[in-house]
Amino acid sequence: MPGRIALRRLAVTAVVVIPLLASISTAGAATQTVTRENVTATFTYRGTSPFSQHPHLKISVNGEVVYDQSVTSAWCGQECSPNLISESRKVVHIVHLEKNGLPSVVLDLYSGGAHCCAIEQVYSFTPNSSVVEKFEHDFGDPGVRLVKLGAGEIFDMLSADDAFAYAFTDFAASGLPIEILSFSHDALHNVTRSFPDLIAKDATLWMSAFQSQASTHYQDSVGLVAAWAADEDMLGHSDVVARFLATEAKAGHLNSALNSVNLSGHKYVIALQKFLRQHGYLQ
């Protein structure tokens, strides 16, 4: 098969807005083809997601096939399904992730299961080379959106920090703070702090959700305020966070519905601050 693969683990992305040039579904088979600049990617599979089979990806550059293989993953082997949960229902995308000339192909996969399973693969290559490098990462629940946040054609990766899921309460009541990643030199880089306006907007949403807990007498509020605290710490408002947490703990507003966690009030504040330090939010 054309090209050779260098497999590495990487966190890449999920829902992307790219024109879908062809999408055909016949007799249990489906094909999605996307073309951008001089790159064309065609993804095919059989059956209905999430129980589809035989995923296959072909990539051509300047009309020459450089990659033509079955899609496999460390998380779903040869049984990966297209991730069709997003509204756009597109699973193959071509975007510029870094300033290296050619765009990369990004494939959205689903490994099956719950609270996991959003597998993203990136296929990148350099001009005048048949080498295709494949990167993949399990993004779990948050998934990722490819977005243009800066000038030019480079896409950043807008996600949320899945480490906060289940950290202080159950998943449904957990808050996941914003996370923005850039891709360069075969690695992801956390650049969230470069976008303070987006962080502030996210913090406002989590604070509004926390305040809405007043109607339930703050029976399960610790997951929401954790996400708000992370956002505010990234903005350099650690003193404000500390004062707010102390006030809310004294008022009895910091509680978890999980008896097994047994974290509330000042015990929760201590645990949260330790968690935020461990994950780089609080210095």
pLDDT tens, residue by residue, 135-187: 988 888 888 888 999 878 999 889 999 999 999 999 999 999 999 998 888 88
25 contacts 46 by C-beta, under 8 angstroms: no
Q: What is residue 151's predicted lDDT score, i.e. its pLDDT?
A: 78
CA dist., res. 230 & res. 192, Å (int): 11
- What is the model's pLDDT at position 117? 82
φ, ψ of residue 208 to 5 degrees: the values are -60, -40
Taking 50 as the pLDDT cut, the residues of the chain under it are: 1-27, 86-87
191-195 contact pairs (CB < 8 A, 24+) = 191/156, 192/234, 193/234, 195/149
Helix (H, G, I), strand (E, B) or coil at 69: strand
CA distance 251 to 247: 6
User: DSSP string spanning 205-259?
Assistant: HHHHHHHHGGGGTTTT-HHHHHHHHHHHHHTT-HHHHHHHHHHHHHTT----S-T
Look up tokens 């990148």; give the residue.
Answer: 124
Residue 55 pLDDT: 92
Q: Which residue has the tokens 């609080």?
A: 282
Residues 6+ apart with CB under 8 A from 110: 49, 50, 76, 80, 81, 82, 83, 84, 85, 117, 118, 119
Q: What is the pLDDT of residue 15?
A: 31
| Domain map (residue ranges) of the chain | 4-160, 197-278
Q: What's residue 49's pLDDT?
A: 66
Rg of the chain, C-alpha, whole Å:
21
Question: In the chain, where do the E strands start and end?
Answer: 4-9, 22-26, 29-36, 39-46, 53-61, 64-70, 81-82, 92-95, 104-110, 118-124, 131-138, 145-147, 156-160, 178-184, 187-190
Read off the tokens for 276: 């935020």
Question: So what's the pLDDT on residue 9?
Answer: 31
